[in-house]
Chains A and B, each alone.
Chain A
Amino acid sequence: MNNYFVKRLLYLIPTLIGASILIFFLYSLIPGNFIDTDPNLTAERKAELYALYGFDQPTITRYFIWLGNLFQGDLGYSLQFQRPVTEVLNDYIWSSFIVAFASLFLTWGIALVIGVISATKQYSFFDSFVTILVFGAMAIPSFFLGLIAIKFFAVDLGWFPAGGMTTSGADYTGWARIKDIAEHMVLPVIVLTMLGIGGLTRYFRTNMLEVVKQDFVRTARAKGLKEKVVIYKHALRNALLPAITLFAFELPALFSGAIITEQIFNWPGIGAIYMQAFSVRDYPLLMGFTMFIAVLTVISNLIADILYGIADPRVRVK
């Protein structure tokens, strides 16, 4: 197991180097950059800025400078914000994270419960009803769902604020501030949960249906175990195994922001920043952020494999 772990860690290095090459060159080979965007600059000023930001160097040299900085934990310097990329990410990523985390928690919790119930009561009224509801929620685009939510819950009913992360002008501290942010979170979290819940519910339902057909579930029943034990102890554990992989992929998603939903609710998250960086060609920010997500993806894959080994004895003993 230890040997295996070390081997897997070593595999990460070439994977990440490959990712860094792709990310850097794809962004660098796009014609134009942040400085070219401003038409008012004189040729001399442009040359000065080129030299200042290192755009006058050959691409290969720039790659190695960038890579060298990465190793020191420096993701680059954002041209748009005139601050290090790590600082910018740190400012915005956590607001995306809390929304993503809350919706991840809700999505998985609800999808698991609904999936298992509709599998154990296949073709029942509950099953069909939930299926329709879940497909409906999945089929509505986020911008529409977001606007509907704002119209009903924020404008008509006035239960929740329509957008932003804090009440503007208010200067809350401590619990009052947490409560304020939580209130602002409700609508975006609901929208994100509704979007994600459909696929996952169907996934759990299918997995569960597959497992309850297996021989060992019949054996469990033949032993005279209670139906609850049969479903939750024998069947569910087996049905959850393949979901580990899926769950690990959620880790990078926690930090990558929701571009459209954040836009609609005016949420100061990383998704909105990402879009903005595109429009002004702030490539260092984009490269740094993409690299950060790449690292998270690779790590979460590793975590998935390790978790699999813990959860499934057939994988563990090798």
Chain B
Amino acid sequence: MAQQEPLLSVHQLKAHFQSEDGLVKAVDGINFDVYQGETVCIVGESGCGKSVTAMSIMGLLPDTSKVEGEINLAGKDLTKLSKGNMRRIRGNELSMIFQEPMTSLNPVMTIGEQMTEVLLEHQAISKKQATKKSLELIKMVGIGRGEQIIKSYPHQLSGGMLQRVMIAIALACDPKMLIADEPTTALDVTIQAQVLNLLQDLKEETNMSMLLITHDLGVVAEVADRVVVMYAGKVVEQGTVEEIFANPKHPYTKGLLQAKPVLGSRKKKLYTIPGQVPKLVDLKPSCYFADRCEHCMKICTQQTPELKSDDSSEHKVACWLYENEVVHK
């Protein structure tokens, strides 16, 4: 898999916002690749830049933000596209589903209108054909009574149904790449599993790639091929899902895995990583995790570690603990 060109290649992506307190570096120079047919999970706590990463790939950040770097999708650099060309890619080759299905659909338009809309925008088909395709899509995401569903309004359906509709809309134009931003967070647990399985099945069927953003490591273990761990706008570790779960390197990744409840094990108290994600304003060069890290050394507070692997494998980590020469000088 590693030999072929990646479908999505994010290189030195930065997304900065000007706030009243100063420049917020929500995403600060991250790199990762997603190959054809692969699922990559971005994990991290709230406020570490996961969603901003997704929104900058989609080109949906407000004009007040500054996005730099390269986002290559199938050979095109999305950051260099005009607004019109980017719009033609959105919902077509690259689509996205969101966290809150209940509010993500327009309350005054029928499901049918909202489904055919995206088809009519990107494909040269008639209204009738679009409606027919919508019915097929509804069937594909596992909802019965399609005829009735397309005449309904969002408030008449449950959260799980709405998220299925959102998936149907996202997949309407057979995208090469689907970004799912915490698609199951707002749903209850039984529905979560259903929606995840659906996504997984559809992904395999269509051979698209998926970028799944989540803070739920259970989800990661289930669906991911590779994992990108983000902290304070930077990638701190990335590797295959086996490597990350079996042999986590970064203290933050270790902390996340420890903080995950395990079914059947009785612990008095769930582990928590002490402290909080730092404010992303005016950060000094350092490892941003330093003040929460139990292995913090002097260098950690002075220099930013680079993301690299110690043995040319794909498993990379940004931590001074693994930089032998420097530390032991």
Q: List A residues at the B interface (Cβ < 8 Å).
A: 214-216, 218-226, 234, 237-238, 241, 311-314, 317
Q: A215-B98, A219-B98, A223-B118 in contact; A238/B90 too (CB < 8 A)?
A: no
* List of A residues within 8 angstroms of B105 by Cβ: 216, 219
Asked if B280 CB lies within 8 Å of chain A CBs, one says no
Q: List B residues at the A interface (Cβ < 8 Å).
A: 58, 60, 87-92, 95-96, 98, 100, 103-110, 117-118, 121-122, 153, 155-156, 166, 169
Partner of A222, one of B96, B103, B110: B96
* List of A residues within 8 angstroms of B88 by Cβ: 224
* List of B residues within 8 angstroms of A311 by Cβ: 108
Q: A218-B60, A224-B90 in contact; A313/B153 too (CB < 8 A)?
A: yes
Given A218-B60, A219-B98, A312-B107, list of 4 further CB < 8 A pairs?
A216-B106, A222-B98, A223-B118, A224-B88
Q: A215-B98, A215-B100, A216-B107 in contact; A221/B60 too (CB < 8 A)?
A: yes
* Closest residue of A by beta carbon distance from B92: A224
Number of A-B contacts (CB under 8 A): 73
Q: A218-B98, A219-B166, A314-B153 in contact; A224/B104 too (CB < 8 A)?
A: no
* List of A residues within 8 angstroms of B87 by Cβ: 224-226
Evaluate contact between B106 and A238: CB separation under 8 angstroms.
yes
**Complex Cα spacing A218 to B91, Å:** 12
* List of A residues within 8 angstroms of B166 by Cβ: 219
**Complex Cα spacing A67 to B43, Å:** 74
**Complex Cα spacing A219 to B153, Å:** 16
Q: A215-B103, A223-B169, A224-B89 in contact; A313/B108 too (CB < 8 A)?
A: yes
Evaluate contact between B92 and A220: CB separation under 8 angstroms.
no
**Complex Cα spacing A224 to B60, Å:** 10
* List of B residues within 8 angstroms of A234 by Cβ: 106, 109
**Complex Cα spacing A85 to B108, Å:** 45
* List of A residues within 8 angstroms of B96 by Cβ: 222
**Complex Cα spacing A238 to B117, Å:** 17
Evaluate contact between A223 and B90: CB separation under 8 angstroms.
yes
Evaluate contact between B89 and A216: CB separation under 8 angstroms.
no
B30 to chain A, nearest CB (A): 21
- 11 residue pairs bridging A and B, Cβ less than 8 Å apart: A215-B103, A215-B104, A216-B107, A218-B60, A219-B169, A222-B60, A222-B96, A224-B91, A241-B108, A311-B108, A314-B153
**Complex Cα spacing A317 to B155, Å:** 10
A125 to chain B, nearest CB (A): 15
* List of B residues within 8 angstroms of A237 by Cβ: 108-109
* List of B residues within 8 angstroms of A214 by Cβ: 103
B181 to chain A, nearest CB (A): 10
Evaluate contact between B155 and A313: CB separation under 8 angstroms.
yes
**Complex Cα spacing A215 to B121, Å:** 20
